[in-house]
Every structure is written in C-alpha cells, then in structure tokens.
Amino acid sequence: MRAAAVALTVPSETPAAPPTALRWIEAPPTAVVGRAWTAALELTPRASHPFDPDEVALDAEIQGPEHDTFRVPLAWVEPYRARPPQPPRFRREWMEPEGEPHWRLTWRFQRPGPHTVAVVARVNNACVVTSSPLGVVVAPGTVPPRLRVSRRDPRFFELDDGRPWFAIGQNLCFIGPMQKVTPSRVATVIGRLAAHGVNYLRIWTGCDDWAISLEPGRGGPGPSPERWPVHERGVTHRGMGEVNQPDAAMLDLVVEAAEAARVRLHICLLTRDRYMRRLRDPASPDYAAAIRDARRLFRYAVARWGASPAVAVWEYWNEIDPSLPAGRFYRELAAFLDETDPWRRPRTASAWAPAPALWRDPAIQLADLHWYLRPAWGQLWTDAAAAVLERAAFLRHHAPDRPAILSEFGLADDQWRHSPWMRQDTALRHVHDALWASALSGLAGTAMFWWWETLEDMGAERCYAPLARFLDGFDWTGGVEPLRVNVPSSLLWAGLRVRDDVRMWIREREATWHREVAEHHAPRHLEGVRIELAAGRVGTWNIEWVDPESGDLRARETLTDPGPTLRLAVPPFTREIALRAAVVPNASEVPPADRAPPTSARCAGAALQL
C-alpha cells in the first residue's frame, strides 16, 4: 500500500536570517574512548532548510590532547521512535515524534585525555557564529576497528588494526512498517544472522515509498499506511534535498542493531530514479543539481551515521544505467567525501548490467556485480557453484586491483522475479553451493543473496555458520593464490591458499541444485577419491576434512615431509567435502608480514581452473 499523500509546503526563497545564538542543549562533559558521544545544540533563529548546507551548515572542530584535530558535520534531527500497531488507526508499526528537534553531534574519541569541542555555524555561506568551547574529559577505552581496503593486498578488506577481513553476508534491503523486517524486528533479524556467522549486510535507503527512503518518495515522507505525524517544530516541507526524518530514525535502529551484532553495513544511499535522468549531459545544469543533491545527502549521512564503525561502505545507488556518463559525478562525490567523511569509507556503485568501466574507475573502491541464476543462462543456470565461479572470474578479470563482490545474487526467472524453484529447494542447495564457491573464488566476499524474506522463512541462516567456521583464521591479505591441484574430472572444486594454508571445497560435479530439486536425482556416495596438491615447501602438514553442511570435522591426519606434492586420499563422502591443510609452524619461524601479493590474474585462476 502506498503512503498517504502529505501536503508539502513550498520552500521560501527568502535567505535565512543571520543567526543570533548557537548554544549547547545537551553537552556531556565526559566520554569514553571508542564509545559514541552525542551532544545537542540549538541555533536561533531556526533555519527553514536545515538540510541545505548552502543555507546553514554546522561543523564541529574537535581538538585532542596531542593537538590532533578533527572536523565533522552535524545533522539536523527530529527524533522519532518506533511504535507497535494500534488498531484501528494504526494497523502496522509506525514512527512517532519523540523529543525536540535539534542539531546533533555524534563522535567517537580516539584518545583519552582532555578534549575541546567547538561548533561553527555558517549561514548563507557567509555569516558565521561559533558556540562556546566545550571541554570533554575522555576516559580510556577501546576504539572499535573500522573496515577499509587492505593496504597489504588491495583485492581484499582488512580492519584498520591490520586484521584481514572477509565479507559473509546477504541483502536486507527493505526495512519499514510495510516490510517483513519492520523497525521493531530489525535488531532480532540482524542478531540472528550474526549469531550464524553473517558479518556484512546490504541495506537500501532509497526505497521511494515502500521502505526506508531518506529522499522524498512518491507518497510523501516515508512508508506508512497512515499519514506520518510531523513534529510541530520540525520541518514540514518535503522537497528534494530534504531528509525524511521518520525514515532516518529507522536507519538509526538498523545501525544500532548492526553495531550491537558487530555486523558491517553496505548502505545504498541515493534514490536512483531521482538522479538517473539528470546525468545524461555532464555540462548541463541538471547534472550539477544532481551532484549538489547527492552531496547534501552524503553530508547528512556522514553527520548522523558516520561515527559508527558498523557503517562500512557507501554505495551511491542501485543499478544505474551503465551507459550514462557518470564519471564526473563519481569524481566530484569522491573528492567531497574525502573532505567530509573523516573515515574515508570505501565507495561503490552498481549497474543494471556488467560495467567493466565502472569497476576500473579510480573513484570507485569496490567492484560490484549483480547476477541471478536464470533459465536464459542455459546450463549455467542449473549449477549455482559453477555459475558463481564463472562470474567471479569475469569480475576479477575486469577488477584486478580492488575488492570485488557479487552484491546481488539469487534464483530468478527470466524476468528477474522470484523463482518458484527457490522454495522447492528446501535443502537450500543453490544457496549453500553459491556461498562456498564464492568464498573460495578470489572475491572479497560471498555471493549476497536477494529475497531475504524467503531466506528467513526457510531458515537459510544455517548455511552461514559452517562456512564462517571453515574460513576462520585464513589470512586474506597475506598473498592469496589459486591452488595447483589435480582433481578427478567428475568433481567440481574451488580453493585458495596463502603460503602454507590451504582451503578447498569439493563437490560431485553432477550434484547440482537443479539435478536434486528438479530432476529428483540423489547425490552419489563417493569412495576411493584421490587428489594431488602442490605442497609449496617441506614440512609437517595437518590435514583436516570437514563436512560443509554441518562444519563438523570428518577426518584428520598428519603428513611428515610429504615432498613437493601432497597426495591425499579423500575420506568417503556424499555430495561434498572440504579440505583444510596447513604446515605446522616451527617455533623459530616468523611468517613474512609484508610479503607482496601475487598478481590478480593468478587469483582469478581459482575460478578459471574449473
């Protein structure tokens, strides 16, 4: 159901009045390193367009004990809270105003000791007023690590403390009162996924009028079966460039839930259809206006959610036309975010077709491909693992020097609609196979499934935990290479190694989801399988065979000085098995910390060798 229409007031063309006062409303004098610290301010007279930095912009200057200085924008906030259904008027959850509108500063101090915080307001890009300086004493604590492109190997992610990090996740794009994932359920849903090993979720905030929509939708300021209550002192006009406050409050809940669960968010921020038509001519006024609107929203997003380590990746929009000349947009937004976002998160964009030029754009740090299993792909459609490996090799070929993921994947019909086969695959073979194949393909994350409602109904969270356990401890930034391996042709496999740490997944080639679900053929039980694997160096090897379905250890053996080749007898298995092999380190050995990674072409070979 569409949101009820809301009367819009026309923005005034009269310049804002010069400010007379900027005062602290809420100003905690103490904080703890790494924990969110929030302050509130009031600027009088109140701006009519507080989301337009050309009219009014508030920025905090934060100085630490070692004279380190940070500058961060503030967000105009109209507080809302989620309310349960209250029939007959509110048949769904809804967002209710709570508290007074204010300017909000959110920060996480990096060092203990005395700090000084001052806020500067600029009105009409001219008049300036500064708050009184605020002293904040920061107690010791732990700074939560943030996600970044690895400095050791730019094909993968790491945390800013240097630990390698691999994305295991899915889409959870539509959140709102009319969705399965409502504001009151979001913490439960994210928490359950995290408990099963999920650490990465893709969220949309440009859903028009059916879910979170920070920019104006067709039916007003957000998704609701009723008219949104609007705070009497809040902003009542909803023109382009404003930020829907009930929807922003819903995103607050998402970010808080992700923080609590230690999940990283890939946030697709802009509403594509508000921009795409304006990007046809880089020299046009419409193109410049699109850039201006995007900058406004990104400035707001940095101000309101940027302090959270859960906010990991900015995605400009979902599936733009790849033929549009968007290069100027990406360049200018990248420069803007370099200046505005103190944490300089990776940025990406997706297109509705493969976009190699976009994946190579210097302003884009994450290559992002959307691809679905559809009958139009012929034989490839019937095998999720083979399809993922083929698409991963294609993506890696065109994006050899940056993280790359399949950020949308699923089982669809030829019109990209939900496939009826998905629910018939009660064992979730296509989900399981795609996750394992993508994890060992050389990509920076697993294939991220769409249709999260169906996945939840089918209990798909069980697919993540065994894979997360299997990948634990793998040094993704230590020089990932494909395997040199001899495997019988009757088996499909995917595998990677870092020095003397090997991870490999093996499946009967004919045991596809389609073979089991549509053709009703049970997978075979295999015995007497042998494989050969290049050892890399002499040493004692620990060999572990793992059941990918459960994550349980099936068998273990130790090989002492096997020579240049590991000749392994695979334990009897039905359908699939996984291998984890590593050299037992000597106490005197120190692994090379700064070993240069191999070329990306060699990494892509993990998929190309099939």
The per-residue pLDDT for range 237-274, each reduced to its tens digit, is 556 778 999 999 999 999 999 999 999 999 999 999 99
Rounded-to-integer distance, Cα 452 and Cα 364, Å:
27
How would you classify residue 378: left for phi > 0, otherwise alpha for psi between -120 and 50, otherwise beta? Answer: left
Rounded-to-integer distance, Cα 372 and Cα 597, Å:
31
- Which amino acid does the sequence have at 437? A
Which helix (H) or strand (E) covers residue 488, if one does?
none
Rounded-to-integer distance, Cα 213 and Cα 211, Å:
6
Rounded-to-integer distance, Cα 544 and Cα 579, Å:
6
Strands 576-583 and 501-508, sheet pairing: antiparallel
DSSP 129-142: EEPPPEEEEEE---
Residue 541 backbone dihedrals phi, psi, to 5 degrees? -105, 135
Task: Locate the domains of the chain by residue range.
Answer: 21-139, 481-608
Rounded-to-integer distance, Cα 50 and Cα 248, Å:
15
CATH architecture of 481-608: Sandwich (2.60)
> If DSSP codes are grouped into helix, strand and coil, which group holds residue 146?
coil
pTM, entire model: 0.91
Q: Are 553 and 545 in contact (CB under 8 A)?
A: yes
In this structure, what DSSP letter does residue 373 have? B
| Residue linked to tokens 């009269």 | 14
DSSP 554-574: EEEEEEES--SEEEEEPPPEE
Rounded-to-integer distance, Cα 149 and Cα 445, Å:
13
Rounded-to-integer distance, Cα 143 and Cα 148, Å:
15
Q: What is the pLDDT of residue 535?
A: 86
End-to-end CA distance of the chain: 47
Quote the distance between the C-alpha of residue 479 and its chain's center. Answer: 24
Rounded-to-integer distance, Cα 215 and Cα 243, Å:
6
CA distances from 399 to 319, 325, 365, 452 (A): 18, 19, 10, 27
Which helix (H) or strand (E) covers residue 147, if one does?
strand 147-149
427-464 pLDDT, tens per residue? 999 999 999 999 999 999 999 999 999 999 999 999 99
> If DSSP codes are grouped into helix, strand and coil, which group holds residue 540?
strand
Q: What is the pLDDT of residue 47?
A: 85
Strands 404-408 and 480-482, sheet pairing: unpaired
Rounded-to-integer distance, Cα 300 and Cα 303, Å:
5
Give the residue ranges of the chain where pLDDT is below 50: 1-13, 219-231, 587-610
CATH 3.30.70.580 at 21-139, yes or no: no
Rounded-to-integer distance, Cα 530 and Cα 593, Å:
34
Rounded-to-integer distance, Cα 151 and Cα 522, Å:
46
Which of 269, 259, 84 shows the shortest CA–CA distance to 173? 269
Strand order in the sheet with 311-315: 169-171, 200-204, 264-268, 311-315, 347-348
Q: What is the pLDDT of residue 223?
A: 42
Residue 378 backbone dihedrals phi, psi, to 5 degrees? 65, -135
Report the length, in residues, of the chain: 610
Give 3-state DSSP helix, strand, coil % of the chain, rounded to 5: 25, 30, 45
DSSP 151-192: SS-TTSEEETTS-EE-B-EEE----STTSSS-TTTHHHHHHH
Q: Are 243 and 53 in contact (CB under 8 A)?
A: no
